[in-house]
Amino acid sequence: MSYFDAASSAPLHPVARQALLASLDEGWADPARLYREGRKARLLLDAAREAAAEAVGCRPDELVFTSSGTRAVHTGISGALAGRRRVGRHLIVSAVEHSSVLHSAEALVAEGGSSTEVPVDRTGAVSVAAYADSLRSDTALACLQSANHEVGTLQPVAEVAEACRAVGVPLLVDAAQSLGWGPVEGAWSLLTASAHKWGGPAGVGLLAVRKGARFAPQHPVDERESGRAPGFENIPAVVAAAASLRAVRTEAAQEALRLRELTERIRTRVPKLVPGVDVVGDPVRRLPGIVTFSCLYVDGETLLHELDRAGFSVSSGSSCTSSTLTPSHVLKAMGVLSEGNVRVSLPRGATEEDVERFLTVLPGAVAEVREKLGAQAPVTVVEEDSLVVNALGKRCPIPVIELAKVIGDVPIGGTVRVLSDDEAARLDIPAWCEMRAQEYIGEEKADQGTAYLIRRAT
């Protein structure tokens, strides 16, 4: 089985395993106690904090360990907002942030605060000018991920941090995906990360709050971790997290070169092997191991099952599954195709043979899924010189498949109206039009669902 989902969770690094097992015998006691066992535990905790702080680029007393990356984000945002409550209750986030950041923004709004969501371009990157324009006199905090978790695009963190610093607004950086590859540059004020993203154990997060950043923890006071992360420290896991972070950083430069070559191979060859593919994300400013593409006329969930049966563990940035009919917020913000979305995120040590085998298996898997989905015949009628496709009750990618089947039946300049009640169609139909050089006119309300209007241009 080839595991190609390291962006979700990386396999445990050998150094993490060794450090975890070794510290189980030495790090079980309370590090706050003065007897021998407590002192041993404190030495391990302090050493781990120093190693992690060096990797982050902050002072040891600026960094605390939390129970997860999500907890680090929630604690960081709530504490920074509370520390600057006299300034205001306005939060800035990008449209492609991790759900933990977006959920924090929703919680703030529910409590009477406000948030601004900065849009991204089709590569998934924010504009520095857009961030600067979103800053207000009552802005308490801005948030920006260092790299996107679904498409791998790197964000202009240093430039945004400088724009925020110029007006005295702290910037929180979610570095979960990138910290294993290198430190985050720029004058950020807060930083969060998650150990299982770089090969450390799950259940360990990092929260760094630089000196000078106003911060007020929003939970009952606790004497541990500077009062910012309550509860007894999981010292063996913390030690393993810090040791693995140091280890992956040592390997990062060489491994990045190798993985970039493999992902570039996927980026360039998949569109040649599989027709109707859109490779998304920035082609240059991206993480080494992530490549994401969307296949027209393919249900992402079905395709992932086919690849799993073929021995490949991959994920999808699309949430358009049988349990939820909304597409990925990241792909939606980028305005790219969400149907048939596949994210390949190579772990350290991924081999050329595995990638070549994936490229051999993928075309057949896509063809098989397309054959199954293409069996349904579209229901069409002619109405006021416009061809109407009734795709009500059909989940993506069926509305797009039916549109593709009938677009050739109308003359150049003629229109097609696709009726759909699937939210994903709002994203996928315009994306299909751009890929196929057809004109997307817009949408209209219909008796049921929504009518999407397309004019045949080619």
d(CA 213, CA 436): 49
* Residue ranges of the chain with per-residue pLDDT less than 50: 319-325, 375-378
d(CA 54, CA 241): 13
Q: What is the DSSP string of 314-370?
A: -B-S---SSS-----HHHHHHT---TTEEEEEPPTT--HHHHHHHHHHHHHHHHHHH
pLDDT of residue 339: 84
pLDDT of residue 184: 97
- The amino acid occupying position 333 is A
pLDDT 10s digits, 265-322: 999 999 999 999 999 999 999 999 999 999 999 988 889 999 999 999 999 865 444 4
User: Euclidean distance between the first and final Cα of the chain, in Å?
Assistant: 43
Measured over the CA atoms of residue 50, residue 54, residue 59 and residue 63, the dihedral's sign is negative
CA-CA-CA-CA torsion for 382, 384, 387, 392, nearest 10 degrees? -90
Of the residues 58, 143, 295, 320, which is catalytic?
320
Contact 311, 362 (CB under 8 A): no
| Sheet of 341-345, strands arranged across | 277-280, 290-295, 341-345
pLDDT of residue 373: 80
pLDDT of residue 338: 86
Residue 320 among the catalytic residues: yes
Question: How do strand 205-209 and strand 277-280 relate by DSSP bridges?
Answer: unpaired
Residue 404, classed as helix, strand or coil, is helix
Of 204, 275, 292, 277, whose CA–CA distance to 244 is shortest?
A: 204
Q: How many residues are given for the chain?
A: 458
Alpha helices per DSSP H over 233-299: 235-273
pTM of this prediction?
A: 0.90
Residue linked to tokens 């409550």: 85
Count Cβ atoms below 10 Å from residue 93 Cβ, excluding itself: 26
- Write phi, then psi, for 169 (nearest 5 degrees): -100, 125
